[in-house]
Amino acid sequence: MSTSTSFRVPLSVLDLATVGSGKTSSDALADSARLAEAADRLGFTRFWVAEHHNMPSVASTSPAVLIAHLAARTERIRLGSGGVMLPNHAPFVVAEQFALLEALHPGRIDLGIGRAPGTDQMTALALRRQADGLGVEEFPQHVLEVLALLGDNRTPDRAVRLVATPSPSSFPDVWLLGSSGYSAQLAGMLGLRYSYAHHFGNEDPAAIMRLYRSNFQPSPALQEPYAMLATSALTAETEEEAQYLAGPSRIMALSLRSGHPAPIVSPEEAAKRVLTEQEEFMLQHLPAIKAVGTPEQVTARLDELIRLTGVQEVMVTGTTYDVGSRIDSLVALAETWRAERAERPVESQRAEQSEPAAAGTAPAAG
């Protein structure tokens, strides 16, 4: 399935609240709030935060807590988890947290669910308190439990005596997230929204989306497949400047792959780093930032991904040392995303909107 390369699907933002060298977790979280406020002003559709544990470079350890803070600082953008790592938590706890967020901010909350630990095995054990919980065999059942607690009971023959909030008026949208075919198939079978983690996944995104759609079964939550692609992107006025600003993300990728995670270095430090032959080889096979360049170059890359995958939304992420660079990147991308669409004839835009894979409206900058 494909779409026109110039059709503008909704655009969203994923953030990890990264901690820079010489900075604190408080600095990182304040930067996340600034980034969310900017995304809100610019007209991005969603702002999701990740769940990672025991990592010196990431301050986003509790998505629900951070979402509550960001929702109070923004006005209309949807806030969500990218994602909650369900094996780390009791389904009832997750359902209560996100039902409460939905009650506080009706119509603005997304619950993105993943099955990876978001950390190393030692930390996962500390989170779950028992070794037999480290597998993912019960993941589908736990997803169903969360759905039931949030008003979507796929197993009506089972008595449900628990409720996530006493008297809900609305429910968060539930997404399954993944970087492999497993979550794509499960999302399709359960009739849920699906987001593929292209920013670190090594699978063919087009094949993953075909797998999702071929397994899709209509559900109370969703009648037709609805997919999003999360990918990394960074823009600047010139390609050279963008590559320079992307240096810290490459060093971060190397540190994670080597098993020695560290705070995010500055672009100056990254530029001075002399890489070994092995590190050069690793960088060629690491996702790092996949779309780096001018706003026009990055937009063209995102257009190509939309054409290849037929997704209804795109979510961008990216690691920079200072939040100002990332905000500038979002500003430029939003302007290009909106401007290129506005410059084209209305008849052409309407023709594209009639294509089945091009459901959705332009996001950005407004």
**CATH number of the domain encompassing residue 145:** 3.20.20.30
Residue 129 lies in a domain: yes
Residue 366 lies in a domain: no
Mean of per-residue pLDDT scores for the chain: 86
pTM: 0.87
Residue 284 lies in a domain: no
Greatest Cα-to-Cα distance within the chain, rounded to the nearest angstrom: 63
What pLDDT, on a 0 to 100 scale, did the predictor assign at position 136?
A: 65
pLDDT band at 341 (very low <50, low <70, confident <90, very high): low
Least confident of 48-52, 120-124, 149-153: 120-124
What pLDDT, on a 0 to 100 scale, did the predictor assign at position 353?
A: 38
Q: State how far the Cα of 186 lies from the Cα of 218, in Å rounded to an integer.
A: 13
What pLDDT, on a 0 to 100 scale, did the predictor assign at position 5?
A: 38
Which residues are within 8 A (CB) of 285 and not within 5 positions of it... i.e. 6 or more apart?
A: none
Residue 52 lies in a domain: yes
Burial degree of 131 (CB within 10 A; 0-12, 13-18, 19+): exposed
What pLDDT, on a 0 to 100 scale, did the predictor assign at position 275?
A: 85
Q: State how far the Cα of 163 lies from the Cα of 288, in Å rounded to an integer.
A: 41
How open is the CA angle 29-51-182, to the nearest 5 degrees?
A: 150
Least confident of 6-10, 31-35, 110-114, 289-293: 6-10
Length of the chain: 366
What pLDDT, on a 0 to 100 scale, did the predictor assign at position 247?
A: 94
Residue 279 lies in a domain: no
Side chain identity at 155, as an amino acid letter? Answer: T
Least confident of 156-160, 203-207, 275-279: 156-160
- CA-based R_g, the chain, Å: 20
Residue 274 lies in a domain: no
What pLDDT, on a 0 to 100 scale, did the predictor assign at position 160?
A: 62
Position of tokens 């996702």? 287
Both tokens assigned to 124: 């996962």
Residue 144 lies in a domain: yes
Side chain identity at 93, as an amino acid letter? Answer: V
What pLDDT, on a 0 to 100 scale, did the predictor assign at position 359?
A: 33
DSSP conformation letters of 222-235: -SS--EEEEEEEEE
Q: Which domain holds residue 154?
A: 11-236+292-358
Both tokens assigned to 45: 């559709």
pLDDT band at 317 (very low <50, low <70, confident <90, very high): very high
- Domain tally for the chain? 1
Which residues are within 8 A (CB) of 96 and not within 5 positions of it... i.e. 6 or more apart?
A: 149, 164, 165
Closest CA to 287 of 197, 184, 178: 197
Residue 262 lies in a domain: no
Which of the pair, 118 or 366, is modelled with greater confidence? 118
Q: State how far the Cα of 148 lies from the Cα of 103, in Å rounded to an integer.
A: 17
What pLDDT, on a 0 to 100 scale, did the predictor assign at position 331?
A: 97
Both tokens assigned to 171: 């429910």
